[in-house]
Structure 1
Amino acid sequence: MPGPVGGHQPSLGATVRSAPPRRPVPFRQFVVKLHSRCDLACDHCYVYTMADQRWRSRPRVMSAATLARTGERIGEHAHRHGLEGVSIVLHGGEPLLSGVGGVARAVELLRRGAAPVPARVSVQTNGLRLDDSFLRLFDRLDVGVSVSLDGDRTAHDRHRRGPDGQGSHDRVEAALHRLTGSYRRLFNGLLCTVDLRNDPLTTYRSLLAHQPPVVDFLLPHGTWSAPPAGRPPDPLHAPYADWLIAVFDEWHADGGQQTRVRLFDEIIQLLLGGSSRLAGVGVSPVAVAVVETDGAIEMDDTLGAAHAGAGHTGLHVDRDTFDAALDQPGVRAQQAGVAGLSAECRACDLHRVCGGGLYTHRWRAGSGFDNPSVYCADLYRLIGHIRRTLRRDVTALRRAAR
């Protein structure tokens, strides 16, 4: 994957386009970095292999005091804005490195701090440590589980290898077998990072074998200054769109009955005039805050793929509220809707559906985030294909109704 962006990096506040003030949207999802290290050495990981290397200086595990204070700040924010519930995602690194006791303590402290506002807790894991002891705990505490799986053994083990170079696919498959047995009710879905070298239909079908309720296909992180693998500068080529279109056509052919593919569902909702809850498409305000193991309140941690400190706010749960984070220029930019898009994006006929792509992918040294996504050509082709498919469906329905 691309390395760090070189050259001078201006502060985030200096790189965002000015946008008309609007009432901030409160955070509804809180990503808690329970453990800052990982038991895999994936070469496409935005945390460890890209521009922002601050993880090296952070505590390995979030302390009980920081967990308690984070929970209190979440409850304070939810109460202030009258939220009926919040979502808390235990993340990393690999959160299960905290151990069964550490995860149990985290869930208890976070929920206790957020109370009386109910907190729906889930964990994002690579699956290596997802054994029966964790599953019993998650069953008892009602914690949902999402697992990263990049496809069959060949696809998954291209990147998701241990420090010893050994692939992790077999261990993840074993964990999924346990999860989808007696504990299926906890299964939130699969996250799959797209690699153009992997056959799209083989990848999709291997994911379907686990009967996931949801599949999230993730574009590998990159920017204009450090483009993702296989993303050519020529806008006439859209290899990631072609990959996703192959999956979409098979998914659409069976009416999406086998699983929900969030990217496709959200694009369809937007094309039909609705809104999106998925970062990277649509212009809905971003409503996610991140808390690092040291208690720092940050923006989307994928911003670390852009430049060092891109997600930095200077805030901390010990002294600052989440409302203070809503005043950050970077957060305002991601909540500005159409006004927060570049001029090139606003001139595009699909800008309300595309939404400029994921904020991280807009970065270019010199102009900051005031750009279309590095995946602009791919998003345009994918959305256009889905739009044409919907139009054909509507036409067919109308003819059938005559």
Structure 2
Amino acid sequence: MDADSPEQPFRQFIVKLHSRCNLSCHYCYVYHHVDQSWRDRPMIMSGRTTAALAARIGEHARAHGLEKIFVVLHGGEPLLAGPDRIAEVITAIRAAAPRTSVDVTLQTNGTLVDDRFVEVFRRHRVGVGVSVDGGREANDRHRRFADGRPSFALAVQGIDRMRAAGDVWTGLLCTVDLSNDPLQVYEDLLALGPPSLDLLLPLANWVHRPPGHDPATTPYADWLIRVFDRWFDAPVRETGIRLFESIISLLLGGPSDTEAVGLDSAAAITVETDGSLEVTDALKTTAPGLGALGMSVHRHSLDEAMRHPAVLATERTLVKLARGCRACPVVTVCGGGQYSHRFDPEGGFGYPSVYCRDLYRLITHVQARVAAKLALRG
């Protein structure tokens, strides 16, 4: 085995509980990108597959003495599975790993949240993130139902229900859209009172480039920098922003909390509704089937998946980065960016991120701002 690709037990399990969605967001990597494997999978994870998954997770946790693991209920839209099914999956996984702390989160568009779901979230200690791309105008630009109806009002209703329930709602996930004014997006998201924000670069690569991409300019960095300066200069910290906090942490020698930057490995595996295993579903934006391992929880252990070459290839090490990346002064902060963003059919994942210039500009800007603030304090 490659010494630069050490085996790491999985600590995060992205569980595709339901393969369909009640929205049809224009940029969705599941339904509107090159990999259309969702069409051949069952809509909902069956009881048989759930039992197999739980057993595999329990086996893996015991074999590696894992004190804590993270389970992310995902989709499609996981709430389409219904509150009872969600409760059954959580109960099965926790029962299979009784000596391991199982942290459960769920990512939803928020439009289906009602009191039944909120009760399940409270009873089973589920942290819920909601995908919203800004205020009504910004969000409804892309996040609509298949018949064209907007989703913002229903998402806000779901957020309000969870906020009233206490520690259920964990924050917002927003995909950057250059068409939306960054400060307006930030203020509109802030108005919802999120505990945290996650600002995501659109899933893209050198084949399927992001909207507005120009390798000679940095439109995404420019967008993010405007939000960063507003956030960083606030007299009181109004919310957490994971991307910015991770960059600052890395600059100060700490860890990253996102796969977007840094050399910290997520140690994650994705489980589809039929039990098949994938490295990361972000690879659905590269080429059909590229993230699939050809393995299933019905036939393979997670230790076998852990040793798969495709899994080992995603380990975030300097030696796996492009030569130019390895010589870059911000490489330990950038970490080459998100793995899927490096894809080019000619050289696989041996390229810099399609957001290389944006990442460099954003990181050096944050570095200068942090250094200036530390100098003032010194």
- Band of TM-score, shorter chain: over 0.9
Superposed displacement of residue 216, structure 1: 0.4
- Structure 1 gaps of 5+ residues are 1-17
Distance, in Å, in 1 between the alignment partners of 2:317 and 2:34 is: 27
- Does residue 1:96 correspond to 2:73, yes or no? no
Q: Which residue among 61, 68, 71 is the counterpart of 1:85?
A: 68
The one of 300, 316, 322 equivalent to 1:320 is 300
Pairs within 5 Å for 1:140-219: 140-181=123-164, 183-219=165-201
What is the aligned residue count? 378
Query: What's the counterpart of residue 24 of structure 1?
Result: 7
Give yes or no for the alignment of 1:107 onto 2:90.
Answer: yes
1:139 equivalenced with 2:119 (yes/no): no
Per-residue Cα deviation, 1:330-358 (whole angstroms, up to 9, x for no partner):
22122141111111210111111101110
From 109, 129, 137, the equivalent of 1:126 is 109
User: Aligned equivalents of 1:19 and 1:154: distance in 2?
Assistant: 49
Q: Which amino acid aligns with 1:320?
A: H
Compute the displacement of 1:19 (Å).
5.8
1:170 shift after superposition: 0.6
Question: What secondary structure sits across from 1:314 in the alignment?
Answer: strand
Choose from 228, 236, 245 the match for 1:248.
228
Counterpart for residue 330 of structure 2: 350
- TM-score normalised by length of structure 2: 0.97
Cα offset, 1:115, TM superposition: 2.3
Question: Counterparts in 2 of 1:262-341, with a 5 A limit?
Answer: 262-341=242-321
**Relative contact order (alpha carbons < 8 A, sep ≥ 6): 1 or 2 greater?**
1
Say which SS state the counterpart of residue 135 (structure 1) adopts: helix
1:43 to 20, 26, 44: 26
CA RMSD of aligned residues (A): 1.3
Residue 176 of structure 1: SS of its match in structure 2?
A: helix
CA distance in 1, matches of 2:191, 2:102: 31
> Is residue 286–residue 334 contact of structure 1 (8 Å, CA) maintained in 2?
no
SS of residue in 2 equivalent to 1:32 = strand
Question: Following the alignment from structure 2 to structure 1, what is the Cα–Cα distance between the partners of residues 370 and 147?
Answer: 47
Structure 2 counterpart of 1:266, one-letter code: S
Aligned-residue offset at 1:278: 1.1
Provide Cα deviations, 1:139-164, integer angstroms capped at 9, x if missing partner.
Answer: 11111111001000110001100011
Query: Tell me, which stretches of 5 or more residues in structure 2 are unaligned?
Result: none
Counterpart AA for 1:68: A
Deviation at 1:65, TM superposition (A): 1.1
Matched letter for residue 145 of structure 1: V
The SS at the match of 2:91 is helix
Could you tell me which amino acid in structure 1 is paired with residue 325 of structure 2?
C
Contact kept in structure 2, 1:282 and 1:352, CA below 8 Å = yes
Once residues 313 and 27 of structure 1 are traced to their aligned partners in structure 2, the CA distance between those partners, rounded to angstroms, is 15
Q: 1:23: how far off? A: 2.6
C-alpha distance in structure 1 between counterparts of 2:113 and 2:235, whole Å:
32
CA shift at 1:241, angstroms?
A: 0.3
Conservation of the 8 A alpha-carbon contact between 1:70 and 1:113: no
Change (3 A) 1:158 1:350: same
> Are residue 259 (structure 1) and residue 239 (structure 2) matched?
yes
Pick closer, same or farther for the CA change 1:75–1:240 going to 2, 3 Å.
Answer: same
Structure 2 CA distance for aligned equivalents of residues 262 and 172 of structure 1: 21
User: Of 381, 385, 396, which aligns to 2:361?
Assistant: 381
Equivalent of 2:213, from 203, 222, 231? Answer: 231
Q: For the Cα contact (< 8 Å) 2:69–2:100, is it kept in 1?
A: yes
How far off is 1:113 after superposition?
Answer: 2.1
